Amino acid sequence: MIFAQFMSGLSRGMMLFLIASGLSLIFGVMNILNFAHAALWLVGAYLCYTFWYLMPNAALGLWLSIFLAALSLAAVGWIIEAVLIRRVYDRELSEQLLLTYALVLIIDDLIKIVWGVEDKLIARPPLVAGPVFIFGAPLDSYFIFVICVGFGVAIGLWWFLKKTRYGHIVRAAVFSREMVSALGIPIPRIYTGVFALGIFIAGLAGAIQAPVGSITLGMDMAVIIQAFCVVVIGGFGSLLGTFVASLVVGEVYAFSILIWPEGALALIFIVTALVLIVRPWGLFGTPART
Amino acid sequence: MKRSFWLVLVFIVALALPSVIGEFWVHVAIEILILGLFAVSFNMLFGYMGQLSFGHAAYFGVGAYATGLLLLKTPLPLPVCFFISMAAAGLAALVFGYFCVRLTGIYFAILTMAFGQLIYYIIFQWYAFTGGDNGLQGIVPPGWLLNVRHYYYFTLFIVIGALVVMWLISASPFGHTMRAIRDNAERTRFIGINVRRYMLINFVIAGMFAGLAGGLLGPFNRSIAPDLCNWQQSGIPVFMTVIGGPLAFFGPMVGAVIYTLLFALITGFTEYWPLTIGLVIILVVLYLPGGVLGLVQKKWIPLHSKKLTPGPNGGAGEEI
Amino acid sequence: MKILKVEHLKKSFGGLQATNDVSFEMQPGELAAIIGPNGAGKSTFFNLLTGYYKADSGRIFFKGQEITNWAPHEIVRLGISRAFQVSNIYPAMTTYENIRQAILTKQKRTLNLFSPAAGMAKKETRELLDISGLSSFADTIAGQLSQGDKKRLELAIALGCRPELLFLDEPTAGMSAEETTQTMELVKRLNRELGLTILFTEHDMSVVFGYAQQLTVLHLGAIIAQGDPGEVRQNATVQKVYLGEEA
């Protein structure tokens, strides 16, 4: 029972990590808090549904759909950055926030227009349909898949940021825009790339979320707030922080729902508020930026 | 001079309004007044202190629930309920603001949001006291306010009174100190101001007037739901203020008129209101920074024509 | 009684000892200067004295009252104000409002919520505008002032706090020769006529030797010489580490 709850918390935490890592990356590099991140995540889920729907009975239908959904969402992210976000780099924080907030309203309505108000359901392929038994406890095999993807993305991102040339440039941009542009690297291209990457991960997360339960309008609203909490707790721009905070929030939620179901979310907000008060730059962030 | 002319004109129109428009539009007008008051209170933080609160609806909600519960469970007269609403919202703002004013910028925005959601969840989950997600039903104003036109005048005078008080505050040394903090908080510390304490006082004032606006809502709608304190509701005063213009005292009020009228018109023929207002916001952010009143000031009022007493060596400087 | 007394003040950033065991005193009515090459720790010293940084160790007294690690606003209220090196004004407010803000704060009127500020402290504000030579810019938005006028405004704001002890961090930085003379004459007058105790830092050696009665030389965060201008000029260490570079 405890173990099952732990695994459910772990898969929840991984889902949060997939969303929050992109959010944190975008904020760390571009200094823009993307309210629309979870709305785009939801678009990823719907896109996955559509691709899956168009590929009846294909053996690899779901897996291909997940990949296609993430890829198309990256393109959407690319366009949003190039058309809208780029115009507000030099604006005030409030204007940037409002712009992405307005995107939430627009995207949510567009979802309604395109996919309608009915919930969507994806039938899982047999591989991940049934429970698996670990230590005698029945576990949703799809959860295992979610957890694997979460770890995979975490390792992939870490490898990208630490080991590749582009990763080094992105990490340098977190600390100083001037330095990077002094190196002769065009900042707008980095920003577009980072934004598209962040949205790609959000799309991947959304697509993976799709077969978990049914896809419902408004799912994004609860998720964005929790993703904010994760990013705050971990520290803006810190991959490790986001990873740890995701797991903490996922587990706190999973266990408090057993003990005190009404207080689960409230508890997360209290933790977030505490971190903000004591260490505004988060558990793993650096206090440089305030 | 020009401004007082416009204010008198708006006042006369506001007085005459209910006798020329239908009941639906009187409802809309009341909503404009209530949300306008809410937005002006929000702008005490945003426009005057320079901090974006994304949890201001929490104090609106606390005020709404205070008056709602008092009307349902006690025989207290309505004005007393409003005072208690203001006190309750002010108390909540004092407790949460104590922590919020330690932060600025994005951290301030997120912390106000986290506390706002906390208040929302408390109200949402506390069935025994707040009715949970059922909200409160059957909040009936006293008999003399049952007529919607009477409630309109009642709201009009309360809102005008509140606006006068907030206007006085904005023109007082305290109000100027808030502007100073927005302009340069560090300098303000080094002329001897305890910046956090002043920000906290302002936070409480803003919370109290949001609470008053919330108090007006229950007896008008006859019901309240927890949704009116969540973060989506907190976005409404932000929208109004940005549309109307955060740097003008009446900016949020102008924004409230535009937003609410637009809402009433658009929802008449499409359900896609969020899409519409989202597009409006993007257009305003991209092409109308400073909002409607910002545009008016830029176009028709010569820059920096602030009226001050002419200096002893006056003449060489800017025009008076 | 000493107006300012500093005992064994220390502050380091990472491995860098920015203020290294500095002990320092000022008599009421003194006009003194702190000099030293770039990075000698002059600004850090001011920042410690005005509460901008917290000291690692050591004590600071103002008129016998210990003020070590007090918050900036508490120190200002006691009677110490400062003008910053990079002008630190209210760029969106008018020159008049900039100065009035400091005066209203000193007059303890900033918690007044309901009377209009417009009519307050007119006389005092105009007086300060006049003294600092900014009268003709009263209604100019401060952000649009010239660099030199911004520095003058910076000084006027510091004076608006009605200090007994005034710290000026390079008060003439970025000024023309003529503006520099004007400003330093004003500083001298404030010292002579109002009896203000003033401590300033300065790059221009002619200014330092022309105006300061007492000199303190900082090098790598520590005091290497102290005395009147004549003594300091003769000091061998000073000539080696500092004046030598200037020549």
pLDDT, tens only, C132-176: 889 999 999 999 998 889 999 999 999 999 999 999 999 888 888
Contacts of residue B134, defined as CB under 8 A and 6 or more positions apart, other chains included, come to B127, B225
Output the average pLDDT for chain A.
Answer: 84
Touch A-B: 3+ C-beta pairs under 8 A: yes
Answer yes or no: do A225 and B46 touch at CB < 8 A.
Answer: no
| B101 vs A contacts (CB less than 8 Å) | none
Residue C148, chain B, CB below 8 Å: the answer is no
What are the domain boundaries of chain B? 15-259
Please give the pLDDT value at position C244.
Answer: 57
Q: Please tell me the distance from the alpha carbon of residue A205 to that of residue A213, in angstroms, as a whole number.
A: 14
Residue from the list B117, B118, B275 with its beta carbon closest to the beta carbon of A105: B275
Alpha-carbon gap: A54 to the closest alpha carbon of chain B (Å): 27
Confidence of residue B312 (pLDDT cuts 50, 70, 90): very low
Surface-to-core class of residue B242, CB atoms within 10 Å of its CB (0-12 exposed, 13-18 middle, 19+ buried): buried
Pairing verdict, β A137-140 and A131-134: antiparallel
CATH class of B15-259: mainly alpha
Answer yes or no: do A270 and B113 touch at CB < 8 A.
Answer: no
Largest Cα separation within chain B, whole Å, is 69
Please give the pLDDT value at position C65.
Answer: 92
Please give the pLDDT value at position B315.
Answer: 30
pLDDT > 90? residue A131: no
Return the exposure string of A35-46: e unless at least 16 CB atoms fall within 10 Å of the residue's CB, then b.
Answer: bbbbbbbbbbbb
Span of A130-134, A190-194, A227-231 with lowest mean pLDDT: A130-134
Residue B154, chain C, CB below 8 Å: the answer is no
What is this model's ipTM? Answer: 0.90
Output the average pLDDT for chain B.
Answer: 88
**Which two structure tokens, joined as six digits, stand for C134?**
């900014």
State the DSSP code for A126: G
CA dihedral in degrees (B1, B6, B8, B11; nearest 10)? -160
**What's the sign of the alpha-carbon dihedral A187, A189, A190, A191?**
positive
Residue from the list C113, C116, C161 with its beta carbon closest to the beta carbon of B191: C161
Answer yes or no: do B115 and A269 touch at CB < 8 A.
Answer: yes
Task: Return the partners of chain C (3 or more C-beta pairs < 8 Å).
Answer: B
Helix axis angle, A187-209 to A37-54, nearest 10°: 60
| pLDDT tens digits along B110-138 | 899 989 989 998 898 888 888 888 888 88
| B104 vs A contacts (CB less than 8 Å) | 290
Choose between B294 and B318: higher pLDDT: B294
Location of structure tokens 């900036």: C72
| pLDDT tens digits along C87-136 | 899 999 999 999 999 999 999 999 989 898 988 999 999 999 999 889 99
pLDDT > 50? residue B318: no
Q: Are A277 and B97 in contact (CB under 8 A)?
A: no
Answer yes or no: do B173 and C140 touch at CB < 8 A.
Answer: no
For an interface test with B, which of A83, A100, A103, A106 has the most B Cβ atoms less than 10 Å from its Cβ? A106
pLDDT > 90? residue B214: yes
Residue B288, chain A, CB below 8 Å: the answer is no
What are the domain boundaries of chain A? 27-220
| pLDDT tens digits along C170-219 | 988 888 888 899 999 999 999 998 889 999 998 888 888 889 999 998 88
Residue B10, chain A, CB below 8 Å: the answer is no
Answer yes or no: do B184 and C94 touch at CB < 8 A.
Answer: no
**Which two structure tokens, joined as six digits, stand for B224?**
């309240």
Instruction: Write down all domains in chain C, each with its CATH number in brackets.
Output: 1-79+163-247 (3.40.50.300), 92-162 (no CATH)
Confidence of residue A59 (pLDDT cuts 50, 70, 90): low
Alpha-carbon gap: A53 to the closest alpha carbon of chain B (Å): 26
| pLDDT tens digits along C35-75 | 888 778 888 999 999 999 999 999 999 999 999 999 999 99
Answer yes or no: do C138 and B192 touch at CB < 8 A.
Answer: no
Pairing verdict, β C214-219 and C197-201: unpaired
Residue from the list A88, A110, A270 with its beta carbon closest to the beta carbon of B285: A88
Among chain B residues, CA nearest to C162: B191
Task: Return the partners of chain B (3 or more C-beta pairs < 8 Å).
Answer: A, C
For an interface test with B, which of A276, A278, A279, A281 has the most B Cβ atoms less than 10 Å from its Cβ? A276
Residue B174, chain C, CB below 8 Å: the answer is yes
Residue B142, chain C, CB below 8 Å: the answer is no
Confidence of residue A140 (pLDDT cuts 50, 70, 90): confident
Contacts of residue B26, defined as CB under 8 A and 6 or more positions apart, other chains included, come to B17, B18, B148, B149, B152
Residue from the list A93, A232, A273 with its beta carbon closest to the beta carbon of B115: A273
Percent of chain A with pLDDT over 70: 95
For range A156-178, the mean pLDDT: 81
